[in-house]
Structure 1
């Protein structure tokens, strides 16, 4: 009796799910694996794009003032805290980008630099 119920349930499942569903799912997983890339490089690319956006703003805009701000008072001893722009400048150094403050005003050149980071 239990075997009969099992077989009828199995037939119903086969009607609902065609046989090639499994292969379609595995193909989808393979495509997703091919499309994935290094998240660290993606974040670097996005930071560089944002830096270009901020640096093209007028010097009186709050976002630019905050980004370029340097603390004037002495910090506690130990490793100094790193600002966001320091991280991005370090990324630009690893890409061997010099004179980035001038290059960021040219959108096409800056987008190529951001793509290079990705």
Structure 2
């Protein structure tokens, strides 16, 4: 889409990084990961009994998914020990930047 915005063809051989600098379009996957990370930290720091905390800690009962698919939970994308680390806001923010930029997305194969 960004190539079509700039009227650049593939045979012009422009690298994606150069096109991204010109269009200034944000990467959708990174934005989603950042929002998920921030929301998870916010919910885990609350002391109130909210249903949202139950959603984060939910485990499927019957474990049935389509054939070949694994049972995926909210916390499967988060690093180990994330519950303890979410209490420290500054540490959580540092880890969030590394989580968003450093981890390749497993579903897209990056």
Does TM, normalized by the shorter one, top 0.5? yes
Tell me the C-alpha RMSD between the 2 structures: 2.9
Instruction: Provide the aligned length of Structure 1 versus Structure 2.
Output: 81
Flag as ranges the 4+ runs of structure 1 deviating above 4 A: none
Q: Distance in 1 between matches of 2:44 and 2:51?
A: 11
* Aligned counterpart for 1:103 among listed residues 53, 62, 85: 85
Q: Distance in 2 between matches of 1:39 and 1:76?
A: 26
Between stretches 66-75 and 43-52, larger displacement belongs to: 66-75
Q: Which has the larger helix fraction?
A: 1
| Offset of residue 81 of structure 1 | 4.2
**Scaled by the length of structure 2, what TM-score is found?**
0.56
Q: What is the aligned partner in structure 2 of residue 24 from structure 1?
A: none
**Which structure would you say has the larger Rg?**
1
Give the 3-state SS of the residue equivalent to 1:82 in structure 2: coil
| Offset of residue 107 of structure 1 | 0.6
Say whether the 8 Å CA contact 1:58–1:64 is kept in structure 2. no
**Scaled by the length of structure 1, what TM-score is found?**
0.53
